[in-house]
Amino acid sequence: MWRLLRITLLLLVLAVVVSQTWLDRIHTTSWNRTLWIGIYPLNGDGSQTAERYVSGLRAEDFVDIERFYAREAQRYGIEVAEPVHVELYPTPAQLPPLLPQGAGALTTVWWSLKLRWYAAHAAHTGDRPPSDIRVFVLFHDPAMTPRVPHSLGLEKGLVGVVYAFADRGAQGGNAVVIAHEVMHTLGATDKYDPDTDMPIYPQGFADPQRQPRYPQLRAEIMAGRRALSSTQAEMPDSLREVVVGPLTAAEIRWIR
């Protein structure tokens, strides 16, 4: 009896999660109204540098992300003038739950539920309208943390966790990572080789037809880097050097 009840309850939760994901997908990829992206800045390493940087942030610091989505959407014939709007929200009281390194499938599922729970509560900011997609940006002092873990974006729950640098010079690179993780929440997949980090040909190339093929002048957003040769790639300095390739455009339903 208990066993049956437990299984029924679990199936019910699963059904709710699956249908919610399906509804989210229809809602976020209709592209007939502006998607609201909430940026929640956090001090990722407890440093004074990150603290100062976070308190000095303004919504205008993220305007490149809006411009990138508007420019690229227009190329694919999307008519809404402002496909995404980026809004800066106050810093949540706590850091998001972190996925333990080398976590198994069960731990990962549990963590993703905790993250969604965290996002739902941390994003509750009273008088402000709620955002469609919530991106928690953990700023790090580059002197203390020269390398940060991989950022992530979850389509289920429309949540992103971005590791960023608390440095004005890194603002363009941070915007590339945020735009990439937002793409994940919209259903786009990575277009780089996870073993080598190299863009995958042709879908991870901004200009696959280019002769000679290398160096590529711009990066595809889901490859994250532009190929300089068959073995070298570099991260772009800003979203001005990034495009949305046709496969990514199809995944987020800019092409139908």
In the bound complex, what is the minimum distance in angstroms from residue 233's beta carbon to Zn ion? 14
Q: Which residue is nearest to Zn ion (CB)?
A: 190
Indicate left, alpha or beta for 253 from its phi (over 0: left) and psi (-120 to 50: alpha).
left
Handedness of CA 190, 194, 196, 201 (dihedral sign): negative
Three-state SS at 48: helix
CB contact set of 31 (below 8 Å; sequence gap of 6+): 73, 78, 80, 83, 253, 254
Query: Using the rule CB under 5 A, is 167 a contact of Zn ion?
Result: no
Q: How far is the CB of 49 from Zn ion (least distance, A)?
A: 26
CB of 201 vs Zn ion, minimal distance in Å: 17
In degrees, rounded to 5, the angle at the alpha carbon of residue 151 between the alpha carbons of residues 179 and 128 is 60
Near Zn ion in 197-216, by CB under 5 A: none
Stretch that binds Zn ion, among 26-34, 56-64, 184-192, 194-202 (CB under 5 A): 184-192
| Region from 15-23, 79-87, 94-102, 186-194 binding Zn ion, contact rule CB under 5 A | 186-194
Q: Of 190 and 207, which CB lies nearer to Zn ion in the complex structure?
A: 190
CA-nearest of 181, 187, 128, 129 to 155 is 187
Among 51, 155, 167, 190, binds Zn ion (CB under 5 A): 190
Paired strand residues for 139: 43, 164
Which region among 50-58, 81-89, 121-129, 190-198 touches Zn ion (by CB under 5 A)? 190-198
* The one segment of 16-24, 59-67, 185-193, 204-212 that binds Zn ion by CB under 5 A: 185-193
Amino acid code (one letter) for 41: P
The C-alpha atoms of residue 51 and residue 65 are separated, in whole angstroms, by 23
Q: How many residues bind Zn ion (CB under 5 A)?
A: 1
- The C-alpha atoms of residue 202 and residue 207 are separated, in whole angstroms, by 8
User: Interacting stretch for Zn ion, rule CB under 5 A, among 18-26, 55-63, 128-136, 188-196?
Assistant: 188-196
Report the residue number, 155 or 190, with the smaller CB distance to Zn ion.
Answer: 190
* Minimum gap (Å) between residue 152 Cβ and Zn ion: 7
Please name which of 141, 139, 143, 142 lies closest in space to residue 151, comparing C-alpha atoms.
139
- Nearest approach in angstroms of CB 232 to Zn ion is 20
Residues that bind Zn ion (CB under 5 A): 190
